[in-house]
Structure 1
Amino acid sequence: MFYQMYEFNHAVMAPWRAAAEAMRVAYRNPFNPLSLTAYGRTMAAGFEVFERATRRYGKPEFGLPLTVINGEEVSVHEKIVWSKPFCNLLHFERVLPPGTERGPKLLMVAPMSGHYATLLRGTVETMLPHADVYITDWVDARMVPVHDGAFDLDDYIDYVIEMIRFLGPDTHLMAVCQPSVPVLAAAAVMAMDEDPNVPASMTLMGGPIDTRSNPTAVNRLAENKPIEWFAENVVMQVPWPQPGAMRLVYPGFLQLSGFMSMNLDRHMTAQKDFFVHLVKNDGEPAEKHREFYDEYLAVMDLTAEFYLQTVDTVFIRHALPKGEMTHRGRLIDLKAITKTALMTVEGENDDISGVGQTAAAQTLCSSIPDGMRMHYLQPDVGHYGVFNGSRFRREIAPRILNFMKANALGNRATTAETPRVVKGRFTRKS
């Protein structure tokens, strides 16, 4: 009933949101003399804050029609090249100038943890000039009809494997946060099967490979509750008239409330500052606030079976680092990975996946040659800064690109150019 009440309250607020938006437009209208006064700007600001606070934020667009390659601006076309009920594989197809190399074939596996794949817009934008980028665009579970079946962690791993096979040999993987575990599992399953399409490299960024290492508040919450508690308290049924009505899900609005509560003071201050900027007519900071929260507040539902299986496997039982994780009943052997290079990236101030949790993959994947592995700890960044922002663009992304190029299937013979395991800096094998 809680989800139904949430939907009911949203519907009840609809007329008030419409009225607030109408009043905001009226007070901002240049033909209204009050729009030039502090009173008019204050009223318009108050109505906008109210409308945005009560709005449901839809799925954002990537909005990346152009990129710059070798100083030349080229167009980018977003295409769905592979599709299943719970995921679309998007290709950012660049119109390359003649003679320009396409760069590494990169599959970004976006988090399925409440936000849309557009959370990685900045990551995609940074990599586009240098790589042929594909990204998993996970579908909001409440938009998937019940007759399309279930989707759990095993299905997630299957989807990743199918996409890698679709893209073919010499594909490089990038997993940001949550998908680090299923991506690592998928690489192991392919290695166990001696699949000819095993990825050339995988980069795991801020992921919960072993949450026993430096546990965060998120990790402790999961550990302190039995899986039955999560099933009884956070799993709900999608209400009518959504396409996925009757499907059991972990609602996105619950995940968002958890995100917000972790830094509530900061979010409240941001809203106050937004109001002040609107009153002062400071356009640039106000627009930056809109851009960030349009993305941050857009959330999607997760299927109950995927959510519960992930919480139990990753955060409660720590099955992967203990060597107990299975896929379709078969034990996953990380030591089977020998042909896929491994890079792990962590942020020094990450409060979601603590330092050491992602690096644990280096120890677990003990069969990967030292010349095909690397660990990088980025100083002075939190979780978001691991995959976005100025330090990502300036310090992390170049290292990832160098690692992918050095571990392309045709380059591995040149061991002098192959990165080795490092921590906090980039060095090369002597």
Structure 2
Amino acid sequence: MFYQLYELNHAALAPYRAFADIMRMVYANPFNPISQTPWGRTMAASLEMFERTTRRYGKPSFDLKETVIGDRKVAVREEIVWSRPFCNLLHFARNVPSGHVPDPRILVVAPMSGHYATLLRGTVEALLPSADIYITDWMDARMVPMTEGTFDFDDYVDYIIEMLRFLGPDTHVIAVCQPSVPVLAAAAVMEAENDPFSPSSMTLMGGPIDTRINPTAVNQLAKERSLEWFADNVIMNVPWPQPGFMRPVYPGFLQLSGFMSMNLDRHVIAHKEFFMHLVKNDGEPAEKHRDFYDEYLAVMDLTAEFYLQTVEQVFIKHALPKGELVHRGKLVDPAAIRNVALLTVEGENDDISGVGQTQAAQTICVNIPDNMRMHYLQPDVGHYGVFNGSRFRREIAPRIVNFVREHARTGKPAVKRVIKGGKSS
């Protein structure tokens, strides 16, 4: 019922939001002499604040049209190369110069934790000059009809395995935050089966491998509540007229509320500064604010079964580090990983995945040779800075690229067929 009320409230505000946007354009119009006065800019700023705080932010685009290879700009084309009901695999195809030595192929597994894969736009942009990049583009569960069935933790692991097999040998995988656990599980499953398509290297960044280490506020909440509490209080049915009508989900707006409440003072200050920049007609800082919050406030729903299983297995039972994680009825054994190089990356000030939680992968993957493992702690960054921002571009991305190149195997070119819904074409 709460989800329905949320939707009704949004619909009720639609005409007021439209009116506010029209009046904002009137007050901001350069042909209107009032727009050049402090009063006019204050009115325009107030109306924009109202419109932005009441709007629903749609799925952003990657909008990565070019990159630099060597000293040359090349075009980039975004294409879907593999598709399932709950995920598309996007390829950023680069128009590489003739004679260019093939770059390593990297599968970036984006977090399925409320935000779209475009949250990793900066990650992809930083890696594109040095690698052939693919990324998981997870679907908003409210947009997937009930006829497509369910999607749980086992399905997530299966999707990763399918994508690695589709991309072929000598593929490297990077997991950002939440997918660190299912990616490690997928690697363990593939290695246990001696799968020739297991990844050459696995980079885990700011992920909750063992949340018993330096628990954060997110971890404490899961520890203090039972699984039944989460099922009763945060799981809701998608309202009509969305395509996923009646699908049980964990709504994205609840996840966003949780994230914002952790640093509420920071968000309040950011919006206050945004308002003052608008009044002062200071365009560049205001545009940076818009760009960040257009991305940050765009959220998606998660299937209830995936969300609850993740809470239970990762945050309540700590199944992976305890050696109790099960996939399709079989125990997942991290010790089976012998041929996959492991890089773990953490941020010194991470308030989502505490320091040591990701590094725990180095402990449980006991059979990876020492010369195939590395850990890096980035000073002075929080969770977001682990995969985005200036320090990521300058200090973390080069380390990832070097690690990937060092542990590349002799492989084959990427598969060029397109797979949709389980069929090849």
TM-score for both structures, normalised by structure 1:
0.95
Q: Secondary structure at the match of 1:90?
A: strand
Q: How does 1:13-412 map to 2 (within 5 A)?
A: 13-410=13-410
In the TM superposition, what is the alpha-carbon distance from 1:345 to its structure 2 partner?
A: 0.3
Q: Secondary structure at the match of 2:322?
A: coil
Q: Secondary structure at the match of 1:321?
A: helix
Q: Which amino acid aligns with 2:120?
A: L
Q: Which amino acid aligns with 1:262?
A: M
Partners of 1:41 and 1:379 in 2: CA distance? 40
Q: Secondary structure at the match of 2:321?
A: coil
Q: Secondary structure at the match of 2:195?
A: coil
In the TM superposition, what is the alpha-carbon distance from 1:32 to its structure 2 partner?
A: 1.0
Q: Secondary structure at the match of 2:59?
A: coil
Partners of 2:377 and 2:286 in 1: CA distance? 33
Partners of 1:39 and 1:142 in 2: CA distance? 42
Instruction: Tell me the equivalent position of 1:3.
Output: 3
Partners of 2:363 and 2:259 in 1: CA distance? 30
In the TM superposition, what is the alpha-carbon distance from 1:30 to its structure 2 partner?
A: 1.4
Residue correspondences, number: 411
Partners of 1:389 and 1:262 in 2: CA distance? 20
Instruction: Tell me the equivalent position of 2:422.
Output: none
Instruction: Tell me the equivalent position of 1:422.
Output: none
In the TM superposition, what is the alpha-carbon distance from 1:33 to its structure 2 partner?
A: 1.1
Partners of 1:115 and 1:145 in 2: CA distance? 20
The answer to whether the 8 A contact 1:164-1:171 is kept is yes
Runs of 4+ in 1 over 3 A off after TM superposition: none
The answer to whether the 8 A contact 1:62-1:118 is kept is yes
Q: Which amino acid aligns with 1:42?
A: T
Structure 1: stretches of 5+ with no match in the other structure: 412-430
Q: Which amino acid aligns with 1:5?
A: L
Partners of 1:399 and 1:145 in 2: CA distance? 41
Partners of 1:378 and 1:101 in 2: CA distance? 30
Partners of 2:394 and 2:21 in 1: CA distance? 40
In the TM superposition, what is the alpha-carbon distance from 1:31 to its structure 2 partner?
A: 1.5
Partners of 1:292 and 1:397 in 2: CA distance? 21
Q: Secondary structure at the match of 1:128?
A: helix
Partners of 1:101 and 1:241 in 2: CA distance? 50
In the TM superposition, what is the alpha-carbon distance from 1:323 to its structure 2 partner?
A: 0.2
Instruction: Tell me the equivalent position of 2:415.
Output: none
In the TM superposition, what is the alpha-carbon distance from 1:102 to its structure 2 partner?
A: 2.9
Partners of 1:35 and 1:359 in 2: CA distance? 54
Partners of 1:97 and 1:170 in 2: CA distance? 22
After superposition, the C-alpha distances for 1:202-249 in whole angstroms (9 at most, x for unaligned) are: 000000000001100100100111100000000000000000000000
After superposition, the C-alpha distances for 1:282-323 in whole angstroms (9 at most, x for unaligned) are: 000000000000000000000000000000000000000000
Q: Secondary structure at the match of 2:23?
A: helix
Q: Which amino acid aligns with 1:97?
A: P
Partners of 1:24 and 1:372 in 2: CA distance? 57
Partners of 2:112 and 2:58 in 1: CA distance? 16
Partners of 1:285 and 1:147 in 2: CA distance? 45
After superposition, the C-alpha distances for 1:228-273 in whole angstroms (9 at most, x for unaligned) are: 0000000000000000000000000000000110000010111111
Partners of 2:41 and 2:394 in 1: CA distance? 39
After superposition, the C-alpha distances for 1:163-190 in whole angstroms (9 at most, x for unaligned) are: 0000010000000000000000000000
Partners of 1:102 and 1:245 in 2: CA distance? 45
In the TM superposition, what is the alpha-carbon distance from 1:193 to its structure 2 partner?
A: 1.0
Structure 2: stretches of 5+ with no match in the other structure: 412-425
By relative contact order (CA 8 Å, sep 6+), the higher-ranking structure is: 2
Partners of 2:272 and 2:361 in 1: CA distance? 42
Q: Which amino acid aligns with 1:383?
A: H
Q: Which amino acid aligns with 2:55?
A: R
Q: Secondary structure at the match of 2:213?
A: coil
The answer to whether the 8 A contact 1:209-1:358 is kept is yes
Partners of 2:67 and 2:57 in 1: CA distance? 27
The answer to whether the 8 A contact 1:102-1:130 is kept is no
Q: Secondary structure at the match of 1:99?
A: coil
The answer to whether the 8 A contact 1:169-1:197 is kept is yes
Partners of 2:212 and 2:83 in 1: CA distance? 35
Instruction: Tell me the equivalent position of 1:421.
Output: none
Partners of 1:223 and 1:111 in 2: CA distance? 21
TM-score for both structures, normalised by structure 2:
0.96
Q: Secondary structure at the match of 1:203?
A: strand
In the TM superposition, what is the alpha-carbon distance from 1:101 to its structure 2 partner?
A: 2.1
Q: Secondary structure at the match of 1:154?
A: helix
Task: Give percent identity, aligned residues only.
Answer: 74
After superposition, the C-alpha distances for 1:7-51 in whole angstroms (9 at most, x for unaligned) are: 000000000000000000000111211011111110000000000
Partners of 2:329 and 2:223 in 1: CA distance? 24
In the TM superposition, what is the alpha-carbon distance from 1:100 to its structure 2 partner?
A: 1.1
Q: Which amino acid aligns with 2:24?
A: R
Partners of 2:32 and 2:393 in 1: CA distance? 44
In the TM superposition, what is the alpha-carbon distance from 1:346 to its structure 2 partner?
A: 0.4
Partners of 1:12 and 1:106 in 2: CA distance? 45
After superposition, the C-alpha distances for 1:377-396 in whole angstroms (9 at most, x for unaligned) are: 11111100000111111111
After superposition, the C-alpha distances for 1:110-150 in whole angstroms (9 at most, x for unaligned) are: 00000000000000000000000000000000000000000
The answer to whether the 8 A contact 1:145-1:247 is kept is yes
Q: Which amino acid aligns with 1:56?
A: R
Q: Secondary structure at the match of 1:357?
A: coil
